[in-house]
Amino acid sequence: MKKSDFDFSKPIRQSYIAIAIIVYKTFKVIFRQALPFVLIFFLGKGSKTVDYILYPVIVLSLISLVLSIIGYFRFYFYIKGNELIVQKGVIKRKTLNIDFDRIQTINFEQNLIQQIFGVVGLVVDTAGSKKNEFSFDALDRDMAVALRDTILSAKRKQNTSDTPLEKSSITQEEESLISILKLEIPDLIKIGVSQNHLRSLGLIIAFFFWVGDNLRQAGINSEQYAEDYFMDLSNPFTFMLFMFPLLILVSFVISLITTVFKYFDLNLWRGSKGFKISSGLFNKKEVAAMDHKIQMITWSDNPLKRLLGIKDLHFKQASSEEVNSKKSISVAGCYDHHIQAVKRHYFKKHAFDHLQEFEIDRRYIYRQVLYFGLIPGLILITIPILFSEASLLWFCLASIFWIAYSFITNTVKHKKRRYSINKSVFHMKKGLFGNSEYLLKLLKIQNIQITQTFYQRRQQLANLKLYTASGNVTVPYIDLNQAQSLRDYLMYKVETNKEKWM
């Protein structure tokens, strides 16, 4: 259907598939909240407390489902003038009036149900909002495209505000897009292998502790069930020999599966006004990172990623919340030539000419070693003095090891910490085991702050902190005169720049 086939001046409901989406979302929330009671039901059969807990949960679940379905029939949207109006609510009616000028992005999402039935979720993000203003659970794709195009067309005609035109979720038919990155199956495997498996391991262990705690509160002996059906986990040797390797394997598999789900068919394109990213297996998303909204571009790796030659790229966008993860768009599996392509498209020609590099003061090492190496090491030595049964030799060795470790790691951090600047960009590198780089246009800087500790004031040193609408970057331990000169230069570049930062 064409855009002209839809009359958005009259109240419209979503697709009937939205009922299934709403029920699915409600079921997920109920399941998470009722999981402890479900476990109690299966492990504690015959207990009278189960009846008192489980049946009220079932009743509340049914009530929630009924209210969710009624909510679908009470949800309408339409366009009036230059506003998108949404009416919703079961008991209390709520009307949202969103002026087109406030709309920043209109992105498409598709979970498994939406993909099966050929509908899309529409997420509307507005300026000055800490989260998405609202979202549509299920619209026919033609209707979603028509709604987006109607809003964007009205913004083009209106275009009286200082807010630049947002052309998000642009389809390939509407604009010629240049492909920068397309992940293949081998790339997905590399990303999965190089993920932080310790984080997955921690989540698994935390989940088992949470389950065990809920079972104990319900009067069920979880340790007895573990001994009856698995093995005695109270024996440390048994745990280290069997369970720990198993948990490591499970965490690896979980990381691999979640990587496939999240980054399957990941594509990064370049349009005339910004970047477009799409990815996902069961929950497919299309999002836009527009040039005027990008505040900072960062990329990072870890030892495994560096071995495989890949990095994680992040577009940090303007947000009313400092460093809101939802405003940072991630692109995994990037090689160096992908990052170079992004830099070439986002920055102007010759933006990196005459880039001058500086290092931070070496006294950064000594101060960090004092605070995080020497003082904790001395505290370790005092433990056997206070507790006579403790071995002085072992604690002395531990103290020496910790101080040496602190010196080595902070020396590496000092060596890697570099910052570069010219008339248009600021670039910073840092890292320890992994490497991180931050790159931003000078015009994106909103505020500059110089801070000093008591020690830095005596040594004529300072920390320089650059604030943007997506977070801040800190340059520690530089000469005070240099920090002041940098602040003055950066403020001059920001104030004299005629380009719009947003």
pLDDT at 80 over 80: yes
The verdict on residue 66 lying in a domain is: yes
Q: Are residue 139 and residue 194 in the same domain, yes or no?
A: no
Of residues 137 and 28, the one with the higher pLDDT is 137
Q: Are residue 42 and residue 145 in the same domain, yes or no?
A: yes
- Single-letter residue type at 438: Y
Q: Are residue 246 and residue 210 in the same domain, yes or no?
A: yes
- What is the average pLDDT score of the chain? 81
Residue where a domain stops, chosen among 263, 295, 318: 263
Phi, psi of 411 (to 5 degrees): -65, -40
pLDDT, average across residues 140-153: 86
Quickly state the pLDDT bin for 168 (edges 50, 70, 90). very low
Residue 134, beta-bridge partner list: 124
The verdict on residue 270 lying in a domain is: no
Q: Are residue 109 and residue 46 in the same domain, yes or no?
A: yes
Q: Are residue 195 and residue 246 in the same domain, yes or no?
A: yes
Of residues 379 and 251, the one with the higher pLDDT is 379
Residue carrying structure tokens 């040797």 = 237
pLDDT at 201 over 70: no
Which pLDDT does position 418 carry in this prediction? Answer: 94
Residue 460 CB contacts under 8 Å (≥ 6 apart), including other chains:
479, 480, 481
Quickly state the pLDDT bin for 175 (edges 50, 70, 90). low
Q: Are residue 128 and residue 201 in the same domain, yes or no?
A: no
The verdict on residue 175 lying in a domain is: no
Per the structure, the count of domains in the chain is 3
Whole-number Å distance between alpha carbons of 221 and 52: 20
The verdict on residue 21 lying in a domain is: yes
Which pLDDT does position 221 carry in this prediction? Answer: 56
Question: Which range marks the domain in which residue 409 is found?
Answer: 363-415
> pLDDT for 280-317, tens place per residue?
888 888 888 888 889 999 999 999 999 999 999 999 98
Q: Are residue 165 and residue 28 in the same domain, yes or no?
A: yes
Q: Are residue 163 and residue 237 in the same domain, yes or no?
A: no
Tokens for 146? 């028509």
Which pLDDT does position 173 carry in this prediction? Answer: 43
Quote the DSSP letter at residue 390: S
The verdict on residue 471 lying in a domain is: no
Are residues 475 and 463 in contact, defined by beta-carbon separation less than 8 angstroms? yes
> pLDDT for 63-78, tens place per residue?
877 887 888 888 899 9
Which pLDDT does position 322 carry in this prediction? Answer: 44
Residue where a domain stops, chosen among 245, 263, 281: 263
Which pLDDT does position 449 carry in this prediction? Answer: 94
Q: Are residue 48 and residue 115 in the same domain, yes or no?
A: yes
The verdict on residue 454 lying in a domain is: no
Are residues 115 and 284 in contact, defined by beta-carbon separation less than 8 angstroms? yes
pTM equals 0.75
The verdict on residue 444 lying in a domain is: no
Residue 182, beta-bridge partner list: 267
Q: Are residue 242 and residue 377 in the same domain, yes or no?
A: no
Whole-number Å distance between alpha carbons of 416 and 434: 10
Q: Are residue 123 and residue 224 in the same domain, yes or no?
A: no
Residue where a domain stops, chosen among 263, 288, 319: 263
Tokens for 259? 């990587």
Whole-number Å distance between alpha carbons of 227 and 48: 25
Whole-number Å distance between alpha carbons of 204 and 198: 10
Q: Are residue 132 and residue 223 in the same domain, yes or no?
A: no
The verdict on residue 465 lying in a domain is: no
Whole-number Å distance between alpha carbons of 252 and 207: 16
pLDDT, average across residues 118-124: 87
Q: Where are the alpha helices (DSSP H) in 75-168?
A: 112-117, 141-158
